[in-house]
A and B are shown apart, each in its own frame.
Chain A
Amino acid sequence: MKKEWHRLLKRQLKKLNIQEETLVELESLLTQINDAYKSYDADFYRLENILEESSQELFIANQSLKKDIQTKQVELESTQDQLDIILQQVKHIVYETNEESNFSYLNNEWEVLTGLKIKDCIGKPFADFLYLTSDDLKPKLIEFLKSNNDYFDHVCQIDFHETGKTWVKLSFKIKRDKHNVPIGSVGTIMNINELKKTELELRESQEKERKANNAKAEFLSTMSHELRTPLNGVIGITNIMLMEDHLPSQVDNLKALKFSSNNLLGLINDILDFNKIEAGKIDFENREFNINYLIDGFNATYKYNAAEKGILFKIKMDNEVPPTLIGDSMRLSQILGNLISNAIKFTEKGKVTLDVETISETSDDICLRFSVIDTGIGIEEENLKNIFEHFKQADKSTSRKYGGTGLGLTICKQLLLLQKSDLKVMSQFGKGSTFYFDLTFGKSDRMVNSATHQHLIEPSYSGLGNINVLVVEDNKMNVMVLTKFLNKWETQFDVTVNGEEAVKACQNKVYDIILMDIQMPVMDGYTATKEIKKLTNGSEKTPIVALTASALYEIRQKILTIGMVDFVSKPFNPIELYEVLKTYSKA
């Protein structure tokens, strides 16, 4: 047996008890086996060495990782400690819940606000402490959980039994793992009791202010109406006196009286309008109207006013503007009237021009620019920004010289703003001003005869012939004025003082036209109209014209709906009244 043979081979041979000569015989085989064993061992040790080395590397790497983790753990704990210190200082509740919605963290403020011990609440459901004590929180939370939102914000009153009802702002964010599965939430609960108290106080004082404003508006409105009634009388009588015989020396006085009272009426109307805008009680109509009639009306009205001042009033309008538009013609008329009369007022020489041009047009709509251009006093640049403010004119000397409240422009601007437009101005001091605005109207193919009054010509007040007029009016002053006019125009007429009497009168006699006041005792104008329409003696066909002190655009719809044909505003404008009588009595 060779000494250098592999030990396993040697041991195996030893156990076999083989004779030495047999070993010699088998030597070449045994050498091969020996080589195989040794080579197997070499392979084994090589592999083992590899295993040993990589195992060592693995072990060291693992140990150093563990150490790192430990260090990080310590760092994390210290960061958490610091964070905790900060969170404990925060004067709101900061909390955290786990995936079962149980509290996993609460800062000290929790004890302060709820009166509960943190250790008694950790691990308990969020819901137990919060939504069960607030009526509206639970449905809000359920709704929130159905949504995909991660942020929740809600102000509510929570009843913590220990500390009482508290207004809080509850905010939280859902935490999600990398698979987007919710794993809890982090949130704050802010005590907003003080804030809420201030808010309630503020709201209360706002409410008070609103009430005071309403009272003021109510008062202004009532006062204006009350002022208008006697003023109607003054204007009416003045008109009559101007129509009747008077001394030549009285003409100037009467004209001054008429001018002043008309001016006063304008002011009162402005205040009423302004009040309504302030109170947000403005509605706009959307009706077909004829723009040509409207523009012609301005021509008729202001040509004379301008001529009186020795200036020109001109109208320029695009030929392409379709005659029938859809919009609020009354308001358009009001705005333009205001701008034109202003322009005339402030222009001493030269001219005032109304320019209407198309800005843009679609198959359904047309946008028009209305410009009122004057060659008047103009406005200084530093005053330009003020002119739309309430009760402001360019400067105090202006109001002394030209009068007016300064409400007109404000009202125009507000009315335009409410229609999503705006009133703009360009001015050169001493050379003149241009006020302009753009308004969009619907287009219509229909031709309409305007219901607005056309003061095309100065009436000749010739006798109206043998017509029968029924006057229904309770105000004696108005009756007197009307009587004067009707007598002058040589008509037959009866007077009744309320709706009921009017109906009776109509039962007995068929009139050519009825002038019907709206607000009357016993039976108002609306009811009386309805009753008359029910008659069968022919009176049901009699045209009924409303007499009204209210702003026309407010009641026009109602008047027309119940079957009245037109209206005459108070105080009576003799021209207007004459035209109405002339138009309807012949129908």
Chain B
Amino acid sequence: MQVQQISISEKGLSSPLHLDFSPDLILMFASSKIKKINDFANQVAEAYPNSIITGCSTSGEISDEIVSDLSVSLTAINFEKTEIMKAEAIIKSMEDSESAGKNIADQLNQKAGLNHIIVFSDGLNINGADLVNGLNSNIPDGINITGGLAGDGSDFQSTFVINNGQVTDKLIVGIGFYGEHLKVGCGSQGGWSSFGMERKVTKSTNNILYEIDDKPALELYKSFLKEEADNLPGSALLFPLSMRIKEGARPVVRTILGVNESDQSMTFAGNIPKDSYVRLMKANIDHLINGAEESANVAKKHIDVQAELAILISCVGRRLVLKQLVEEEIEAVKDSLGEQTQITGFYSYGEIAPFGQFSSCELHNQTMTITTFTEV
């Protein structure tokens, strides 16, 4: 397995791309603010017509241990014994999320020897939880799915997904990895902690939350944000919600994608069912960095060999908390995985990963989700 990791600045995009080898897969995580991304994608697709090219827009590009904006983090991968396949699904509206996921899983499951799936999805026009449900529905046990929702800085305006030469929104791309020679490790940890009372969701529809404890959700939420309330929905990333479907269930983290002042509702990256329990969450820098390291440790435990490539999908919320220290969490991962592991990735609007080694995949928020690849 060959891996080449490059970080290209906005200026550098106009120069032709020269890779050391002809890759099977090219991953591109690009800033949503880069204007020439279409041209660049076309150029790459023309230069490497036999490669599968995919990726998405970000809230920060990770390349090696550097986090950049206004760049493209490009990873070229050439497998020796592993076959890959691409599947895509268009979503017209949010209601299509589950069927799109199912569609991708169906396509990728056609081919024998499926080992792992990576998914990149539009970050705004999607119900991430439904997408994951769809993906899960037609996948054999033991096959993990990882991936993420495209980001748009902290603006929540528009995201895109790269599908070979095409750059578009309302699209989901899945890559299937086939064969047993590929060892995949997964870890997804947060480092956030809940605080205050557990409150009951008293009114909601899918991923739109209207009332908590019979009070308007947005009003309650704003009372915790104070002056940060003016920066919604971006500032909502500072206060995700911990949600559990019922008492005793494992809590998941939900971040806010948008707010609606007129009906005081909040739209989340995943579903918030009525009668579920929510708690506000907070983070501190140490916990987040420890979380990232823990995530790497989990991914490492999956496989007992040195990872050759690690794809880091971290939540934009973490970036907003870590600020200038954002690279500390990348370094913590790198320290755990070792110098030889190449690192790529992006800050996202949602992460897809299994909870643990044997559980099905979930949509996460506020985690550092790591997928490692090694061919043996």
* Chain A interface residues toward B at CB < 8 A: 7-8, 11-12, 44-45, 48, 51-52, 55, 58-59, 62-63
Chain B residues positioned under 8 Å from A59 (CB to CB): 194-198, 279
B325 → chain A, closest Cβ, in Å?
6
Q: Out of A44, A45, A58, which one reaches B196, CB within 8 Å?
A: A58
List of 5 A-B pairs having minimum Cβ-Cβ separation, nearest first: A55-B195, A62-B197, A55-B196, A8-B325, A48-B284
Query: Taking A8-B324, A11-B325 as contacts, is the C-beta distance between A62 and B198 under 8 angstroms?
Result: yes
Q: Are A11 and B195 in contact (CB under 8 A)?
A: no
Chain B residues positioned under 8 Å from A44 (CB to CB): 284
Interface string of B320-354 (1 = CB under 8 A from A): 00001101100000000000000000000000000
Query: Taking A44-B284, A48-B284 as contacts, is the C-beta distance between A58 and B197 under 8 angstroms?
Result: yes
Does B107 make an interface contact (CB < 8 A)?
A: no
Q: Out of A8, A12, A51, A63, which one reaches B198, CB within 8 Å?
A: A63
Q: How many residues of B contact A (CB 8 A)?
A: 13
Q: List 8 A-B contacts (CB under 8 A).
A: A11-B327, A11-B328, A52-B193, A58-B196, A59-B196, A59-B198, A59-B279, A63-B198
Q: Are B327 and A52 in contact (CB under 8 A)?
A: no
Closest to B327 in A: A11
B54 → chain A, closest Cβ, in Å?
31
Known: A59-B196, A62-B198. 16 other contacts (CB 8 A): A8-B325, A11-B324, A11-B328, A44-B284, A45-B284, A48-B282, A51-B282, A52-B193, A52-B195, A55-B195, A55-B196, A58-B196, A59-B194, A59-B195, A59-B197, A59-B279
Closest to B326 in A: A11
Chain B residues positioned under 8 Å from A7 (CB to CB): 325, 328
Closest to A59 in B: B197
CA distance A487 to B363 in the complex (A): 141
Chain B residues positioned under 8 Å from A63 (CB to CB): 198
Chain B residues positioned under 8 Å from A51 (CB to CB): 195, 282
Interface string of B278-297 (1 = CB under 8 A from A): 01001010000000000000
CA distance A12 to B324 in the complex (A): 8
In B6-25, the 8 Å CB interface with A consists of: none
Closest to A12 in B: B324
A57 → chain B, closest Cβ, in Å?
10
CA distance A263 to B219 in the complex (A): 106
Chain A residues positioned under 8 Å from B195 (CB to CB): 51-52, 55, 59
CA distance A52 to B198 in the complex (A): 14
CA distance A511 to B195 in the complex (A): 125
In B183-203, the 8 Å CB interface with A consists of: 193-198
Closest to A55 in B: B195
CA distance A55 to B198 in the complex (A): 10
B7 → chain A, closest Cβ, in Å?
15
Chain B residues positioned under 8 Å from A12 (CB to CB): 324
> Max chain B CB contacts within 10 Å: which of A8, A51, A55, A58?
A55
B270 → chain A, closest Cβ, in Å?
23
Chain B residues positioned under 8 Å from A45 (CB to CB): 284
Closest to B284 in A: A48
A332 → chain B, closest Cβ, in Å?
83
B282 → chain A, closest Cβ, in Å?
8
CA distance A11 to B193 in the complex (A): 26
Closest to B287 in A: A48
Chain A residues positioned under 8 Å from B197 (CB to CB): 58-59, 62
CA distance A184 to B128 in the complex (A): 48
Chain A residues positioned under 8 Å from B279 (CB to CB): 59
Chain A residues positioned under 8 Å from B194 (CB to CB): 59
Interface string of B291-330 (1 = CB under 8 A from A): 0000000000000000000000000000000001101100
B42 → chain A, closest Cβ, in Å?
34
B243 → chain A, closest Cβ, in Å?
15
Interface string of B192-228 (1 = CB under 8 A from A): 0111111000000000000000000000000000000
Closest to A65 in B: B197
Closest to B279 in A: A59
CA distance A302 to B196 in the complex (A): 108
Closest to A41 in B: B285
CA distance A63 to B198 in the complex (A): 8
B110 → chain A, closest Cβ, in Å?
47
Chain A residues positioned under 8 Å from B196 (CB to CB): 55, 58-59
Chain A residues positioned under 8 Å from B282 (CB to CB): 48, 51
CA distance A55 to B284 in the complex (A): 15
B376 → chain A, closest Cβ, in Å?
36
CA distance A63 to B247 in the complex (A): 11
B192 → chain A, closest Cβ, in Å?
13
Closest to A15 in B: B324
Chain A residues positioned under 8 Å from B198 (CB to CB): 59, 62-63
A43 → chain B, closest Cβ, in Å?
13
Chain A residues positioned under 8 Å from B193 (CB to CB): 52
CA distance A45 to B195 in the complex (A): 15
Chain B residues positioned under 8 Å from A48 (CB to CB): 282, 284
A432 → chain B, closest Cβ, in Å?
92
Closest to A44 in B: B284
CA distance A499 to B222 in the complex (A): 111
Closest to B197 in A: A62
